[in-house]
Chains A and B, each alone.
Chain A
Amino acid sequence: MAVVEHQGKTFEVDEDGFLANLDEWGPEWVDYVKELEGIKELNDDHWKVIHMLQDYFKKNGIAPMVRILSKVTGFKLKYIYELFPSGPGKGACKMAGLPKPTGCV
């Protein structure tokens, strides 16, 4: 398990760089992933995706399937890729502090 440091804060991450513990999530983590993803400025749509992911995760214990994310936010998959270049899983879920999906996915 690796540790990353950003803006004076340390985060435990798994080998794919996903946050190990959602409780550690905060603005510093968001800023860290923002740089990784090469996103210039976060806008309302980024936050809409992040909040939806976190709300769903807290309620259901898992990230939503992409089509549910798309329906709830009203964003097409293509636009989600514009917001998060690595996509909903490796980009958006990582920024929201969710664990990476496993299994037949």
Chain B
Amino acid sequence: MAKLPTPAELAKVSYSPPAKGWMEIKPDFRPGQYVNAADPKWMEWIDYPYPRKWSVPDEDWQLPSNWKEIILEGMEDRLNRFRSLKIFFDICVRCGACADKCHFFLGTGDPKNMPVLRAELLRSVYKRYFTRIGKALGDLVGARDLDESVIKEWFYYLHQCTICRRCSLFCPYGIDMAEMTLLGREMLASIGLNIDWALASVAQCYDKGSHIGATPQAFKDMIDFLAEENERITGISTPVSYNRKGAEILFVTPSGDYFADPGTFTLMGYLLLFKYLDLDYTFSTYAAEGGNFGWFVSHEMGKRLNTKIYEEAKRLKVKWILGGECGHMWRVCNQYMTTWWGESPTFLEEPVSPITGTKFENAKVHKMVHISEFTADLIKHGKLKLDPQRNAHIKLTFHDSCNTARGMGIFEEPRYIINNVLPEGHFFEMPPNTIREKTFCCGSSSGINANENMEARMQGGFPRANAVRYVHEKYGVNHLGCICALDRATLPTLLQYWVPEVDVTGITELVGNALVFEDEIERTTDLRDRDLVGFGEEEGAEEEE
């Protein structure tokens, strides 16, 4: 792995444009900047085309002999199927409103990370082969021939876009860079160009049921372990039900929550909440993954992985689905799942909270509710006894995850929960242009949270980390909250690098800390075994793990 520069070195970003025109400059595949090529075995597992051994720094990527035809036919096919793509290609006026809105441009200073130019990498090929003016005038009108260096450029820059859509928010035409990136990645996959981190996760999920490749017994083992941890810390037994037919609710969450810290503490929070409510729910070892790295690769693959959720809901005869804290899972489930399925599933009911009777009308079509919506509703109806003092050691700021916030408008629910589980004066917002719909991406989403591209990840996450540093220095913030498992995987690494004083936490973990059970044992620590402030004998002691 490439040596990671120091934060001081990486913070020196040059925004001076190069002297040469953009078409003349080719990407420099420097270690630390790119994600490795997919191992052919993953491609074989999922029956993906042109599996072969190749490496990104290789001169020869061993493309299939007819690769150019495949790409151009693929582009034509997508132009016909996605009218949006043609419109996005045609209507951009190069106003530049998006240019400085991308976290990767802000972090790297590389002009091709300006969304306007990233789109141009694809648009120039569209112009050359699909517009009359481009065919006639070529580079005079920004059209260019498709050659291998163009493909390499796509590979580089379409994997330095995290489909966060911050640029789209500022685009006066609403051009959606994420859609272009996703379709561009599909075309790359059609000639056998995939990244290993995403494809390994996809293949494992397709074959075994989760991105981490957990077998059903491992899935159960891990969640049972976390239930035991709950009992050790709170004295409350939180038994878990798996694959139970006839349960009212199917609960689906990303594998990061049951495998990796700090997501595991959030999962403990879910279990405590469900026990508190005596909720009639079940996990499924088949629909064991809420996340969907397939969507980062192609719509077809996204659909293949997603289908398991409805299939399992049908088999188990549940009434509706509750989803854990996840970002892209949520965008997929809310905005793609029903389309992929073909219709609103008739075997499910419109979700109604069994505790408050609230009808989640926003989930009428896809029949799946986000845990933050569910919990905020419980608090609103006074159904949870909460002791915010148990989170008094936490000074929190909240990271809006791109997909739940910008994608779906979940802004208020997590904040409402936070304000009810933290003592007054313990929640601090980051600057307004870095939160809510203007939130900055973690910099590592969309399947690029690998190790080998760490330098690029730290650059891409710089704007987010910078805002965290601001509230840390100004208010003493020591925790960054989020409702996304990918965030819980990527932000600890990012903050360890830029703001090591700040830890990452899920919001349901804070709920788990604050929930007061009638028959609980005396609580002296939080779910991470850290001493509480103002409880027990040693006041104010905060122990790091």
Task: Give A contacts to B, CB under 8 Å.
Answer: 1, 14-16, 59-62, 65-68, 71, 76-78, 90, 99, 101-105
Tell me the bound Cα distance from A65 to B267 in angstroms: 13
User: A103 and B452 in contact (CB under 8 A), knowing A60-B214, A61-B215, A67-B261?
Assistant: no
In this assembly, does B184 line the interface, its C-beta being within 8 Å of a C-beta of chain A?
no
User: A61 and B55 in contact (CB under 8 A), knowing A67-B261, A102-B204?
Assistant: no
Contact B218 A60 (CB under 8 A): yes
In this assembly, does B538 line the interface, its C-beta being within 8 Å of a C-beta of chain A?
no
Contact B212 A103 (CB under 8 A): yes
In this assembly, does B222 line the interface, its C-beta being within 8 Å of a C-beta of chain A?
yes
Contact B255 A104 (CB under 8 A): yes
Contact B201 A103 (CB under 8 A): yes
Contact B259 A101 (CB under 8 A): yes
In this assembly, does B160 line the interface, its C-beta being within 8 Å of a C-beta of chain A?
no
Tell me the bound Cα distance from A101 to B260 in angstroms: 10
Contact A103 B293 (CB under 8 A): yes
Q: Which of A14, A15, A65, A103 contacts B225 (CB under 8 A)?
A: A65
Tell me the bound Cα distance from A99 to B256 in angstroms: 17
Closest Cβ of chain A to B248, distance in Å, is 27
Contact B489 A61 (CB under 8 A): no
Number of A-B contacts (CB under 8 A): 93
Residues of A within 8 A of B449 (CB): 104
Closest Cβ of chain B to A68, distance in Å, is 6
Contact with A along B88-101 (1 / 0, CB 8 A): 00000000000000
User: A102 and B213 in contact (CB under 8 A), knowing A67-B225, A77-B545?
Assistant: yes
Closest 10 CB pairs of A and B: A103-B211, A104-B256, A60-B218, A61-B215, A105-B260, A15-B36, A102-B201, A102-B200, A103-B201, A104-B485
Smallest CB gap from A105: residue in B: B260
Closest Cβ of chain A to B30, distance in Å, is 16
User: A1 and B215 in contact (CB under 8 A), knowing A15-B452, A16-B451?
Assistant: no
Contact A102 B211 (CB under 8 A): yes
Contact B222 A14 (CB under 8 A): no
Residues of A within 8 A of B205 (CB): 103
Tell me the bound Cα distance from A90 to B452 in angstroms: 12
User: A65 and B55 in contact (CB under 8 A), knowing A16-B1, A102-B213?
Assistant: no
Tell me the bound Cα distance from A1 to B260 in angstroms: 27
Residues of A within 8 A of B264 (CB): 65, 67
User: A105 and B489 in contact (CB under 8 A), knowing A15-B36, A67-B229?
Assistant: yes
Tell me the bound Cα distance from A68 to B217 in angstroms: 14
Task: Give B contacts to A, CB under 8 Å.
Answer: 1, 36-37, 39, 53, 55, 196-197, 200-201, 204-205, 208, 210-215, 217-218, 221-222, 225, 229, 254-256, 258-261, 263-264, 289, 291, 293, 449, 451-452, 485-486, 488-489, 545
Smallest CB gap from B489: residue in A: A104
Residues of B within 8 A of A90 (CB): 451
Residues of B within 8 A of A104 (CB): 211, 254-256, 260, 263, 291, 449, 485-486, 488-489
Contact A1 B488 (CB under 8 A): no
Tell me the bound Cα distance from A71 to B222 in angstroms: 12
Tell me the bound Cα distance from A103 to B84 in angstroms: 30
Smallest CB gap from A15: residue in B: B36
Contact A65 B222 (CB under 8 A): yes
Residues of B within 8 A of A59 (CB): 217
Smallest CB gap from A72: residue in B: B225
Contact A103 B39 (CB under 8 A): no
Closest Cβ of chain A to B55, distance in Å, is 7
Contact B197 A1 (CB under 8 A): no
Residues of A within 8 A of B53 (CB): 1
Residues of B within 8 A of A14 (CB): 39, 196
Question: Would you give 26 A-B contacts (Cβ < 8 Å), ordered by A?
Answer: A1-B39, A14-B39, A15-B39, A16-B1, A16-B36, A59-B217, A60-B214, A60-B217, A61-B213, A62-B213, A65-B225, A65-B261, A65-B264, A67-B229, A68-B222, A90-B451, A102-B197, A102-B204, A102-B212, A103-B211, A103-B289, A103-B489, A104-B254, A104-B256, A104-B489, A105-B256
Closest Cβ of chain B to A61, distance in Å, is 4
Tell me the bound Cα distance from A104 to B489 in angstroms: 6
19 A-B pairs besides A76-B545, A103-B291 with CB distance below 8 A are: A15-B36, A16-B1, A16-B36, A60-B218, A60-B221, A61-B213, A61-B214, A65-B222, A68-B221, A71-B225, A90-B451, A102-B201, A103-B211, A103-B254, A103-B259, A104-B211, A104-B263, A104-B488, A105-B260
